[in-house]
Amino acid sequence: MRVLASAPAKIILFGEHSVVYGKPAIAAAINLRTYVRAEFNDSGRIKIEAHDIKTPGLIVSFSENEIYFESDYGKAAEVLSYVRQAIELVQEEADKNGRGITVSITSQIPVGAGLGSSAAVAVATIGAVSKLLGLELTNEEIGKLGHRVELLVQGASSGIDPTVSAIGGIIHYEKGKFEHLPFMELPIVVGYTGSSGSTKELVAMVRRTYEEMPEIVEPILTSMGKVVEKARETLLSELEEGQKLARLGRLMNINHGLLDALGVSTKKLSELVYAARTAGALGAKITGAGGGGCMYALAPERQSEVATAITIAGGTPMITEISREGLRIE
Ligand code: MEV
């Protein structure tokens, strides 16, 4: 018996980092996926094959573009620790030890780009392995197990990445609870800086600043939470589409400024953000942990101009779509 499962990448629309402190955040699944095939083997051991991730380059075919991402063995090793934890966790749940399991991974998601590659691989692995072991878990339960994997590997995690990867669509997330927001095609462009940031290190860096100067950092996190609530209100409002997008754009710019204040932006991220705004984006901000990785811009009717501006500023643009679907058994 073989099971093939896939899970999507994500972008955090609003509220990264502050979500780790119990504030709300909004995230969306996007249409880049990680595929995991699971089957039993006779060796009694866990085997992980991750050809795409181990090779120095990872080819991502996206819309009409072929994009080349650098990847290295260090990052591959990090991904593998998520997979191992995911398998061990599911084996514990299933209470069926002894049988070896082989998982094979292929991924369209660049590793370490802030697009939730670790969460997607954890969720797809839990989905495939739990099915193989005969467990009937809902996508929501798989998202919760994905959160446990992140806590084991990273130390700190809000759980938003595995949740949105497991359930798909656009979600409002707070302290482990989520609500689906109405599905909407957002005209976004993601810009990849070409370098990666470590979520674990960035979360730890923000924590150190918080502990050193809570009287300054707490109000920043509170403001971020308020930006998220305003964005949720806007998404749920009766405003006409153009007004909605304009308001969301302004909120993105505020959120980016607050993230910059926390110290998670880089020169390159800010260059891509300003290039996108200059090219007509309504708003642009970091998405994910920062320190490299990706930004995204909201650019109705200006997606190709913004993509060109991101390229000229030295980034790799991806014109992406929101994915309604989360984890799926293929
Ligand atoms: C990473 O995609 C988002 C962070 O807020 C970490 C987390 O929520 O676990 C930086």
CA–CA dist 71, 55 (Å, integer): 7
**Nearest-atom index, ligand 1, CA of 15:** 5
Q: Which residues are annotated as a binding site for ATP?
A: 110-120
User: Can you give the pLDDT at residue 158?
Assistant: 94
With a threshold of 0.85, tell me whether the complex ipTM lies above it: yes
170 and 299 both lie in a single domain? no
Question: Does residue 71 register a pLDDT over 70?
Answer: no
Which domain CATH number covers 315?
3.30.70.890
Does 173 lie in the same domain as 132?
yes
15 and 115 co-located in one domain: yes
Higher pLDDT: 158 or 86? It is 158
Residues 175 and 235 in one domain: no
What is the distance in A from the centroid of ligand 1 to the CA of 199?
Answer: 7
pTM above 0.80, yes or no: yes
Asked if 169 and 250 sit in the same domain, the reply is no
163 touches ligand 1 (CB under 6 Å): no
Same structural domain, 299 and 198: yes
Residues 148-186: tens digit of each pLDDT: 999 988 888 999 999 999 999 999 999 999 999 999 889
Q: Supply the CATH number for residue 41's domain.
A: 3.30.230.10
Length of the chain equals 330
Quote the pLDDT of residue 70.
33
The domain of 271 spans: 188-320
Give me the amino acid identity at 94. Answer: A
The H or E element containing residue 40 is: strand 25-41
Bridge partners, 107 (sequence order): 34
Q: Is the pLDDT of residue 97 over 80?
A: no
Q: Kindly state the percentage of the chain with pLDDT values over 70.
A: 89
Segment 280-296 shows an average pLDDT of 96
> For residue 64, what pLDDT band results from cuts at 50, 70 and 90?
very low
Domain end position, chosen among 183, 216, 245? 183
Would you place residue 69 in the very low, low, confident or very high pLDDT band (cuts 50, 70, 90)?
Answer: very low
* CA dist., res. 27 & res. 45, Å (int): 36
Cα 327 to averaged position of ligand 1 atoms, centre (Å): 19
What is the pLDDT at residue 27? 98
Residue 75 has pLDDT above 80, yes or no: no
End residue of a domain, out of 156, 183, 210: 183
Number of domains composing the chain: 2
Higher pLDDT, 154 or 254: 254
**Rounded mean pLDDT of 113-133?**
92
Task: Identify whether residues 169 and 194 lie together within a single domain.
Answer: no
